[in-house]
Each structure stands twice: as C-alpha cells, then as structure tokens.
Structure 1
Amino acid sequence: MIAIGNLCRAPLPHRYYIFILHLIGVNLFRFSPALLFPAIKLATIADKTARISVTALVDRQAALTRAMEMFWARGYANTSLTDLTRAMNIAPPSFYAAFGSKDALYEESLRLFIAHHGGKMWEQIETTPTLLDAIEAFLKTSATAFADSGHPPGCMMIAGLQEMERDEGASAAWLRSQWDANRRKMQGRFKRAITEGDAPGGFDCRTAADFVLTLQAGLSNAARLSLSRTHLVSVANLGRQSIETMLTTVR
C-alpha cells in the first residue's frame, strides 16, 4: 500500500495526475504501486486528449468566424471552396470533416452572425418601453451596426435573402424561415403597442412591420454601397417619423 507521505514526496507531474484521479473518485490508497502508475499514465493520456479537444474547438471557432466574414463580404455564390479553405487555413479533407459541406458551413456561419451581430437591434424592439422609441432604436442600431468598420458592411442575413431569392436549397429555406420569424416578431411589437395603448385598435400592424423591415433592408444595401454611418442614421430617423404619421392618420 502507498502511504500519504510517499505520495506527497512524489515528483510534481505524478502528484498532478494523482490529484486528477482523486477528483474523479479513484481511491489511490487502495492501489499497489504496480497498479498506481499505469493509472497515472491513463490520467496523463486523458489530460492530453482534453487539451487537444479544447484546442480543436478554439481552432474550429476561429475558422468559422473567418468563413462567416468571407460569406458576409462576398456572398454565398462568390465564395469558392478554395477561398474558404485558404481563409480558414485548413485542407479540404479537414474542411469536410469539420463542417460537412459548403452549404452546411454557410448555414452555421449565418447562425454565428445572428448570435453575435444580428441580435442587438431586436433587443431594442423588445426592451424599449414605447413603440416609437422602440422603432427609432431598432433602426438606429441597425444603421450603426451596418456601417461598423470592424466587420463587412450591411447585414449578412438580408444580403443572403436577396442573393438566394429563387434558391431552393436548405440554406435558402432556413434564411426564409428566419425572415418570416422576424416579420412575426415585428408584427408582434405593433400588436403589443395596441394592447398597451401606444397604437389604435385599427392600426395595420402587418403593413407597418413590413415598412420597418423594408427600411432596414434598404439601410443594409446602402451600407454595402458605402453610404456613411451619418447618412444611414439620418435615413433611419425617417422611420420613426413615418410610423408616427401612420399612427396619427389612423387615430
């Protein structure tokens, strides 16, 4: 049997792996030396495997981010597999092993875009108390994000919808489902305004929602044509004025 004092005097690497085994519930003091050190070897292998897995995960995320930026800047059709593997710094076999296909990578890139770049304006819609302030915040946040020099201009999702308008592939179908969800979400905000007394009962929520989203799409297109942030925000301000006019007309 192994005494506690002997374990404490073990070389540092051995103490490290003994500690790992202890954490996972292995009672080291029931092992003889003949069994203990093979167990330490297994812990060493497990530790190295875990470190490799973490590194692979980080590398995959970095590669996915580079792919997203390329699709965002060039679009789906204008981004070749060669462009992607070069930008992601991986060989074609590794590409297929990690992402499956260009179409699957594109959809995953879109999900990454929505998670990190597409949610800020929608948070404004949900959290801003009054309808007009919410619409103003939504459009201004969109304009500012679309003109941000830290990434490609415009909205990757809107650009993808326009590019794949007649496409029947899985990515196009997924994009359209996201667009439909956004339309429902915007309509829901106008319906909420009716409930809260910010809009009259007979207000056309569907048309108003489509107007706001059409203006947002125009802001994205203008950003991709290099319209400045200042001009985009000026155009966004017209959105609030237009909705206010619509509300006044119905009342």
Structure 2
Amino acid sequence: MKIEKDQSQEDLTAKRKRGRPKCFNEQEALQKAMLLFWEYGYEATSMSDLTQALNLSAPSIYSTFGDKAQLFQHCLEYYLQHEACPIEPIFQTAKTAKIAIELYLYETVKRLVQDHKPTGCMLVVAAMNCSEENQSLQQDLLLKRQQVKEKIYQHLQQGKATGDLSIHANVQEMTDFYSTVIQGLTMQARDGVSKQQLNQVVDYAMQTWHVLIKEN
C-alpha cells in the first residue's frame, strides 16, 4: 500500500511540474506576433500589444517564447521561413545569373507588397531607429541582410567562373548595386509605392545589366 501511495504522489508531482497543457497554437501565435513586429517595429510593439493580438497573458507568452527579445527572434525565424523571398531555390534553378537576379527582384516585390500584410522587408524595417539598448538586435538584422548579400555575391562569382558572366564583370559592384536596389524597393514599399511602380524599378535595374557586366 505504501508503494502505491508513493507512486501516486510521484505521478501528481510530475503532473504539477509539467503544468497545464497549452491551449493555443504556437505557430498561429508566432504569425500574429510577427505581423506586429513587421508593421510597427520592435520598440514600438509593446507587451500589451502582443497580449491583445495573441489573446494570451504575459506569463503564457513568457513561458512559451521567452521575453520580448526572444519572442522577436522566434518571429524573425518564422518570417524567414514563411514570408521572406526564397533566394536559395531561385538561385539553384535559374539557368543564368541574370535570370536568377531578375527572378529574385520580381519575387521580392511580390513579398514587399501583399494584401493584408505589412509592406517592406522585416529584416530592414523591424529594428529601424532602435535605441542604444537594442543595438544588438539591429546588428543581428544587419548580419542577416549581409548573409543575403553574400549569397548574391557568391552566385554572381559562380556565374563568372562558369563563363556565364564576362571575365570583365566586377562582381562586387554588381552585388552592391542590386543589394541597394533591394533595400530601396523595401523603403519605397513602406512609403506606399505600388507593386506596378516597383516592378518598373526592377525593369530599369535589369536594363543596366549589360553595363554592369562590361559588355561592349
């Protein structure tokens, strides 16, 4: 009898440690939080905003995702997986470097201006004008943007190595140019510029291709 009693006590203790089961969908909560950070930025989004949007208490958010900074990181990963332009598949399947860049720019425009979603790129707009105490967050986003830029550079460099690009092409200049175009597109999208206008910018950007690769 004592053994059964001890076992029952252990089971009860284990249940208490596990706590109550979560009664919400974590992915849906992440999506809602991501939309807030994407629209208003990290600092302008308060815990009060998050609890109202997610319909969760602050303790529930903390126990599941951590503090606000940790929740933002979770949202950032969600954004990269579900909302950011998929650079790897585009670069892997495009037949030439020019087609890869062109497809990536047009697909980026689609992601920057969507119905019922914030405009612009979360990697650019979510931590703009952060205070000094959140500089590490800005640095993390900068690193992620630089990783995208590095992928563009590597793909163009590969095109040059395989003969797809002229040996006279300056890959660094091309990377700088198209990376600047991408960031310009996101700021224009935030300012309310239409998808049609942004696509026209992409048209002009691609018309300069022959100049950038030093074609005669």
- Deviation at residue 236 of structure 1 after TM alignment: 1.1
TM-score (norm 1): 0.72
- Deviation at residue 164 of structure 1 after TM alignment: 4.5
Pick aligned residue for 2:170 from 191, 198, 204 = 204
Question: Could you say if the C-alpha distance between residues 68 and 244 of structure 1 is closer, same or farther in structure 2, counting changes exceeding 3 Å?
Answer: same
Structure (1 or 2) with the larger CA radius of gyration: 1
Name the structure where helix makes up a greater proportion of residues.
1
> Which 5+ residue runs of structure 2 have no aligned equivalent?
1-10
Q: 4+ runs of 1 displaced by more than 6 Å?
A: none
Q: Deviations over 1:149-198 (max 9, x none)?
A: 14211111121354449665443232122122112111001101101212
How many Å separate the matches in 2 of 1:169 and 1:101? 17
How many Å separate the matches in 2 of 1:240 and 1:167? 40
How many Å separate the matches in 2 of 1:145 and 1:128? 19
> Which 5+ residue runs of structure 1 have no aligned equivalent?
1-41
How many Å separate the matches in 2 of 1:121 and 1:238? 21
What is the SS of the residue equivalent to 1:118?
coil
What is the SS of the residue equivalent to 1:248?
coil
How many Å separate the matches in 2 of 1:170 and 1:64? 22
Q: Residue 152 of structure 2 aligns with which residue?
A: 186
1:156 corresponds to 2:139? no
Question: Are 1:140 and 1:233, in contact at CA under 8 Å, matched by a contact in 2?
Answer: yes
Question: Are 1:139 and 1:237, in contact at CA under 8 Å, matched by a contact in 2?
Answer: no
What is the SS of the residue equivalent to 1:175?
helix
RMSD: 2.6
Q: Residue 51 of structure 2 aligns with which residue?
A: 85
Q: Residue 3 of structure 2 aligns with which residue?
A: none
Q: 1:208 corresponds to which letter in structure 2?
A: M
Q: 1:74 corresponds to which letter in structure 2?
A: Y
Q: 1:193 corresponds to which letter in structure 2?
A: G
How many Å separate the matches in 1 of 2:188 and 2:144? 22
1:134 corresponds to 2:97? no
Question: Could you say if the C-alpha distance between residues 246 and 163 of structure 1 is closer, same or farther in structure 2, counting changes exceeding 3 Å?
Answer: same
Q: Residue 38 of structure 1 aligns with which residue?
A: none
Pick aligned residue for 2:62 from 91, 96, 103 = 96
Question: Could you say if the C-alpha distance between residues 163 and 96 of structure 1 is closer, same or farther in structure 2, counting changes exceeding 3 Å?
Answer: same
Question: Are 2:43 and 2:127, in contact at CA under 8 Å, matched by a contact in 1?
Answer: no
What is the SS of the residue equivalent to 2:178?
helix
Question: Could you say if the C-alpha distance between residues 161 and 95 of structure 1 is closer, same or farther in structure 2, counting changes exceeding 3 Å?
Answer: closer
Of 192-201 and 84-93, deviating more is 192-201
Question: Are 1:113 and 1:156, in contact at CA under 8 Å, matched by a contact in 2?
Answer: yes
- Deviation at residue 248 of structure 1 after TM alignment: 3.2
Pick aligned residue for 1:118 from 84, 93, 102 = 84
Pick aligned residue for 1:230 from 191, 196, 206 = 196
1:172 corresponds to 2:105? no
How many Å separate the matches in 1 of 2:133 and 2:186? 21
- Deviation at residue 242 of structure 1 after TM alignment: 1.6
How many Å separate the matches in 1 of 2:131 and 2:213? 32
What is the SS of the residue equivalent to 2:126?
helix
